[in-house]
Structure 1
């Protein structure tokens, strides 16, 4: 684990002064909406750790990551809208994918606003929600506005988590990354815990 992080640190450290860095962040953040294995959050957090206290570049990082995430989500939503439930079922084939789509479809019908904003903080939630909102013909303008808010919140949170890790271990970026990962897990656990509590309320619509 440490060796992998060390290699990632050295790879991105060499790109910190290159304009290609922002292209990498944008593309990875966008593709994560279609390819869940893309390390979008890891990339943003790691770059933020390496940038440390450089506030202008941290702000640029958050803006680029948010823009990439929004573009990727809109593309995923468009695929769902154009292909409909049949294509979505094919893209999310398998028992786990089917459960994610069924969950997202039901949740969109009940509380879409919160879901679109918070989906990227839930494991596997981003892809399922973007595709299902498209397949269910969720209003495009409303989706874009809500997703822009969610993408911005995600980008700022990830950047802030990385910056905290970088500030705590300015000379040891690998340790900074480990601290940032721990903070990110706390955030995800909090969001997931809140979702489970909300879902378990007897008054929810079935």
Structure 2
């Protein structure tokens, strides 16, 4: 694990001065909306660690990551809206994917605003939120506005986590990335725990 992380850090370090760095961030942030295994948060966090205290480039990282995330979410929403249930079902193969989609459909009907903004902080939430809001014909303009707010919040949070994690490890970015991962895990664990607690509450009432 440590060797893989070190290799990933070195790979991104080699691109820090290259325009390709921004292309990588944009593409990974966008593709994560359809391919949950894409390391979008990991990439943004690692790049923020490597950029250090360079505020203009950290601001650029936020902008590029948010734009990529918004573009990917809009594509996911479009697939849900125009691709129909069959294509959506193919993209959500497996019991876990179907459960996420069913949960997201119910959430759209109850509290769509919170779903679109906050789903990206849950594992697999972006995929389910984009496809479900599209499949249920959630108003496109409202989706874009809400998703832009969510993408911006996600990009700022991920960049800030990377900056905080790497603040004391300028000479050893791997340690900075590990600390940032711990912070990111805490950020993700809190909303996930709240969702599970709410889901379990009705079953405990006799």
TM-score (norm 2): 0.94
Please state how far the C-alpha of 1:197 moved relative to its aligned partner: 4.1
Separation in structure 2 between the aligned mates of residue 128 and residue 110 of structure 1, nearest angstrom: 15
Partner deviation per Cα, 1:149-190 (whole Å, 9 max, x = no partner) = 000000000000000111021111010000000000100011
| Counterpart in the other structure of 1:147 | 147
Separation in structure 2 between the aligned mates of residue 52 and residue 131 of structure 1, nearest angstrom: 36
| Counterpart in the other structure of 1:11 | 11
| Counterpart in the other structure of 2:165 | 165
Counterparts of 1:23-172 in structure 2, within 5 Å, are 23-172=23-172
Please state how far the C-alpha of 1:90 moved relative to its aligned partner: 2.0
Please state how far the C-alpha of 1:201 moved relative to its aligned partner: 5.9
C-alpha RMSD of matched pairs (Å): 1.2
Partner deviation per Cα, 1:54-91 (whole Å, 9 max, x = no partner) = 11100000110000000000001001100122221222
- Number of equivalenced pairs: 202
Partner deviation per Cα, 1:32-54 (whole Å, 9 max, x = no partner) = 11111111110000000001111
Give the secondary structure class of the aligned counterpart of 1:168. coil
Which segments of structure 1 move beyond 3 Å, counting only runs of 4 or more? 196-202
Unaligned runs of 5+ in 1: none
Contact 1:84/1:134, CA 8 A, preserved across alignment: no
Which stretch of structure 1 is more off in the superposition, 118-127 or 78-87? Answer: 78-87
TM-score (norm 1): 0.94
Unaligned runs of 5+ in 2: none
